[in-house]
Structure 1
Amino acid sequence: MSYENLAGRTAVVTGAASGIGEAIAVLLAAQGARVALLARREERLTALAGKIRADGGQALAVVADVTDEASVAAAADRIHTEYGRVDLVVNAAGVMLPHPVDARRADEWQRMLDTNVAGVLRIIGAFTGDLVGAAADGRTADIVNISSIAAHVSFPNYAVYGATKAAVTYLSDSLRGEFGPRDVRVTNIEPGFVESELLTHIGDAELARQVEDLREQVGALSAGELADLVAYATSRPRRVNLRQIVALPTRQA
């Protein structure tokens, strides 16, 4: 499928080393966007950037940790040096660490908060000037946040993860009030089950088995199908903001 209005854009995609982030980066690059790939795993990023370039696209591998302000600032500086102003930001980095709250896994709580919530804020903050400037120049400007159906559907043992995604959904809604009047679009995407590395984050064997059993019952979307939604939303005419997208496997209630 071909998407209009993506060629010539400059995108930042976090979580680009695997899963949803990787698929989004590949598709945006295939449609003619220059894509800065952000993640912590240098080897994976370098390989992905090489693949994109081999397929005729433009990609920049930028090792960065969204939980660290200095790392994000350094990444933004490098992107600005190499690519100039950014007009499309996709927050796909995330971590899912399920446990009952009374397990008191404060280390996991902090990791999810730092990545899923504060990480999104750091990235948006680093590129706000770019996005507002691009919109002021009459160009299309987008923020896309990958939230989760867990933002408003509760699952046992996922209270903290769900709370972080509820924060992302609320943040996206609030940001529209700040950025919409300046012609910057904000899209919040809430997927259900998706084939991604999130499921490998589950360290508890019983919880992992429960998720696998449910996934076998309802199926899972591919990362490419999520990427398709991002490309579609960000390729609409600049006056059209697809503000909220919930994407589930057909069998998932």
Structure 2
Amino acid sequence: MTYDLNNRTAVVTGAASGIGAEIALVLARSGAKVALLARRADRLTELAEKIAAEGGQALAVAADVTGDLTEAVETIHTAFGRVDLVVNNAGVMLANPITEGRDDEWHRMIDTNLKGLLNVTRAFTKDLVEAGAEGTADLVNISSVGAHLAFPNYGVYTATKAAVTHLSANLRTEFGPLGVRVTNVEPGLVSSELGDHMDNPDVDAHLAAWREQVPPLNPADIGDVVGFVTSRSKQVNLRQIVVLPTVQV
């Protein structure tokens, strides 16, 4: 499905695959110019070419959300001008028991899921505030239903997502009065690469079995939600959206 996002300029992080790629496709098909931000340049180039072949506008920007984004922001501004729609989607999910003491995984999840979101938000705050003063501006954060639930072995991941959900609510108290809408999206089980980087066979087997019991959402389902949210009238802010497979309870 497409929406009316003509004359909008978007940045989507974690756009190399899964939910991020599908969000980018929906936004581009709806008329937005989309900057694709992620580390895997080859994947971004393929997606940008696909969007261009469909008649859309996309820019591949290889960057790490946890690092210095100055060059990335300059590249986006040169190509597309001011940004008025930011989707913080980049994230990692690494599951292990706390007793394993995997601080390498803990740091990676905190750095990407929370600090990376803050880093990107800071990089485009001026753009969003200026856009919000003149028209429509959106900051969309992709959290997880895990922000409210407890899952064995996923404690640090869900803690980072709880932080994203709480941060989103607080960001809205600051950005809302400035004309910037803040939306927190919490997907349930989604078929994506998110769980492909875990190294615990028992956790992998449990996740696979869960996916057999609960047919997951497609990443395109989340893309559709983001397209819907960001295409509402300026005065309408859908603050919090939980998106679950119908049979996930």
Structure 1, unmatched stretches of 5+, are none
Q: Which runs of 4+ in 1 moved over 6 A?
A: none
Match of 1:131 among 128, 133, 136: 128
What residue is the counterpart of 1:59 in the other structure?
Answer: 58
Matched, 1:3 2:18: no
Deviation at residue 2 of structure 1 after TM alignment? 3.5
For 1:157 and 1:105, the matched residues in 2 are separated by: 11
Q: Deviations over 1:173-206 (max 9, x none)?
A: 0001000001100000000100111121221111
Deviations 1:110-153 (A, max 9, x none): 0000000000000000000000001111x110000000011010
- Following TM superposition, by how much is the alpha carbon of 1:74 offset from its aligned partner in structure 2, in angstroms? 1.4
Partner of 2:101: 104
- Partner letter of residue 246 of structure 2? T
User: How many residue pairs were aligned?
Assistant: 249
Unaligned runs of 5+ in 2: none
Tell me the residue number matched to 2:41: 42
Q: Which aligned pairs between 1:87-98 and structure 2 lie closer than 5 A? A: 87-98=84-95
Q: Which letter does structure 2 place at the counterpart of 1:119?
A: G
Quote the RMSD (CA, aligned, Å): 0.7
Determine which of 94, 111, 114 is the counterpart of 1:114. Answer: 111
Amino acid in structure 2 at the alignment position of 1:28: L
Taking only the aligned residue pairs, the percentage that are identical comes to: 60
Structure 1 Cα separation of the partners of residues 23 and 195 of structure 2: 19
- Local SS of the residue matching 1:194: coil
Residue from 218, 225, 231 that aligns with 2:227: 231
Which SS does the other structure have where 2:245 is aligned? coil
Q: Give the Å deviation of 1:238.
A: 0.6
Distance, in Å, in 2 between the alignment partners of 1:158 and 1:122 is 24
- Provide TM-score, normalisation by structure 1: 0.97
Output the CA distance in 1 between the equivalents of 2:240 and 2:198: 27
Q: Deviation at 1:87? A: 0.2
